[in-house]
Structure 1
Amino acid sequence: MTSKLNPQRKPAARDQADGRFATLTFERDVAAPLSALWQVWTAPAARAVWSSPSPSVVVEFLEADTRVGGREVSLCKVAGEPDTRCECGWLALEPALRSVNCEVISSEGVTQSAALVTADFSGTNERSRVVVTVQLSSLAKDMEAGYRQGFDGGLDNLGGVAERTMVIQRVIRAPRSIVWNTWVNAETLPQWWGPDGFSCRTKRIDLRTGGEWVFDMIGPDGTVFPNHHRYIEIRPEERLAYTLLWGENGPKHADAWASFESEGEATKVTLGMVMSTKAEFEEAKGFGAIELGMQTLGKLERLVTSR
């Protein structure tokens, strides 16, 4: 967790408070690249991993559209208590620099609070930092203590998740529709998935929300690597999220996502993976998973540009 790496972590500071109005500041230093921290902050699949402030809280996402003008709606569930609804609207997104969102908290149909949340990012390929400023207006009751607890717990989780997140990006010289259709096509996906020299042998494939892909990835020396992808969300031409398992119904390896952005006539593909443990992340990084992932996206580009 971030607190272990940063024992001097500053607690939330109240810069200004007057009854039900407060400005709160939270800071975290993270031993992860800035690109990973930004993706973990904004990618819906990653936000679902770290957003719960404690094990006693279950966060269920009902909507997630992380773009300017987009909305995120979630329910926080605690046993024996009414659900808390959070509606978040994204106002500004400057990649790896800043995000601004408004959020409204309600319970049983009664609005509890409204807030403006600004997150400022800085860092390098080795370490990164986020400073979150919350301008809070409590409506039904004083919400400051709850915000302190929620943001402190969530940001500690954010740091720990960023430190085991791998991000691979490549600009592919083809329109987004072509790249997307090559990715979610049951015939073409097995043709390019995997690093150079690897092939895929599909057992069954169903590329839709709630679907799955059970397959073996076969290395150049014939070694078989069983895989199972369970698709959590498929949002056409925007993103997909899935869980990686070690073999059919095996242990979870990672929570993963892919996003697609048009850049003129090209497409920027971002592939992110939150490994289940820091040890798995270090092992994957050690055997060159980032380089192998770039080879995989290179095979995708060669396929779409050869047509």
Structure 2
Amino acid sequence: MTPTLKPGITPRTAPDDGSDRFATLTFERDVAAPLAVLWEVWTAPAARAVWAAPSPSVTVEFLEADTRVGGREVSLCKVEGQPDIRCECGWLDLQPAVCSVNYEVISSGGVTQAAALVTADFSGADERSRLVVTVQLSSLAEDMEAGYRQGFAAGLDNLAGAAERTMVLQRVIQAPRSIVWGAWMNPETLPQWWGPDGFSCRTKRIDLRTGGEWVFDMIAPDGTVFPNHHLYGEVRAEERFGYTLLWGENGPKHADAWASFEDQDGATKVTLGMVFSTAAEFQQAKGFGAVELGLQTLGKLERFVKSG
């Protein structure tokens, strides 16, 4: 998570005596979202991209994202008029909905500014969850502790807000991951099963690659037409992909979404997540039964796979 640097300050080497180089910082957040949702928003690259920037004046560009033990995340924090800040995060331990541990190295202009060990502990019950983040910081430049406090506090506020408007659907499908992925990321088969029970798809354009899109209409059983436009971000074969949902072709953004695929004893655990653009859209979606309709869609995927 990128720290906040004060405008106009260029990081400098800290004193050699170590007097202000080390700090342990603790952040706590109570979140009005289920534990499974909070974990997904903390770990899923598409969700992390939603809440990573500490303020609207900061742009975070992700160069690499691989949330698994041994994987790493590399991003650039960009502020107009200031040098880019590079953040490298390496995942050391991931215990779903329990704990994560990662290292973090911050640099600018090729010079390391700080290194940290970040431990996140998760707990919760029903529709509420709690996150406690401990940062053991080794600061190699001026004002890094203050920057870390500001950056983490703002980022975790963003995280809580994002989690509270996120929907996560999961289903274990009794088929190998390659088969499930192939049914989803194939332009011939995706339109055959996508959508809730009784819905059909009418495709205008489809290109299921990084930078691609799917422009289509979903048609309800009563004939009502719902225009959709999916814009695809990073696609990692048989692992995950991220995409943006628009209301119709080039329409307003509806949600940032992702799907991930995990082996589970010969079956495939599919996770479909959506961070809605606003809390109002999230509540509206829940109100018209988006959870049930989404689970129906995953059920259609399973039936399609088994029928093949």
Which TM bucket (shorter chain)?
Answer: over 0.9
CA distance in 1, matches of 2:144, 2:197: 53
Unpaired runs of 5+ residues, structure 1, are: 1-16
Alignment RMSD: 0.9
CA distance in 2, matches of 1:194, 1:161: 25
Deviations 1:233-278 (A, max 9, x none): 1110000100000000001000000000000110000000000000
Once the two structures are superposed, the pairs formed by residues 131-210 of structure 1 within 5 Å of their partners are: 131-210=132-211
Give the TM-score taking structure 2 as reference length: 0.93
| SS at 2:120 equivalent | strand
Identity of aligned residues (%): 82
Q: Paired residue for 2:12?
A: none
CA distance in 2, matches of 1:231, 1:47: 16
Q: Paired residue for 1:5?
A: none
CA distance in 1, matches of 2:232, 2:24: 39
> Could you list the runs of 4 or more consecutive aligned residues of structure 1 that deviate by over 6 angstroms after TM superposition?
none
Amino acid at match of 1:291: E
| SS at 1:68 equivalent | coil
| SS at 1:72 equivalent | strand
Corresponding position: 1:75 with 2:82: no
| SS at 1:220 equivalent | coil
Unpaired runs of 5+ residues, structure 2, are: 1-17
Deviations 1:9-54 (A, max 9, x none): xxxxxxxx95110000000001111111110000000000001011
Q: Paired residue for 2:103?
A: 102
Aligned pair count reads 291
Deviations 1:78-125 (A, max 9, x none): 110000000000000000010000010000000001000000000123
CA distance in 2, matches of 1:216, 1:145: 50
Once the two structures are superposed, the pairs formed by residues 111-150 of structure 1 within 5 Å of their partners are: 111-150=112-151
Q: Paired residue for 2:35?
A: 34
Amino acid at match of 1:271: L
Give the TM-score taking structure 1 as reference length: 0.94
Amino acid at match of 1:51: A
Once the two structures are superposed, the pairs formed by residues 1-307 of structure 1 within 5 Å of their partners are: 18-307=19-308
CA distance in 2, matches of 1:171, 1:275: 24
CA distance in 2, matches of 1:58, 1:125: 34
| SS at 2:38 equivalent | helix
Tell me if the contact between 1:98 and 1:120 (Cα under 8 Å) persists in the aligned partners: yes
CA distance in 2, matches of 1:49, 1:204: 27
Bigger mean CA offset, 137-146 vs 259-268: 137-146
Bigger mean CA offset, 110-119 vs 139-148: 139-148
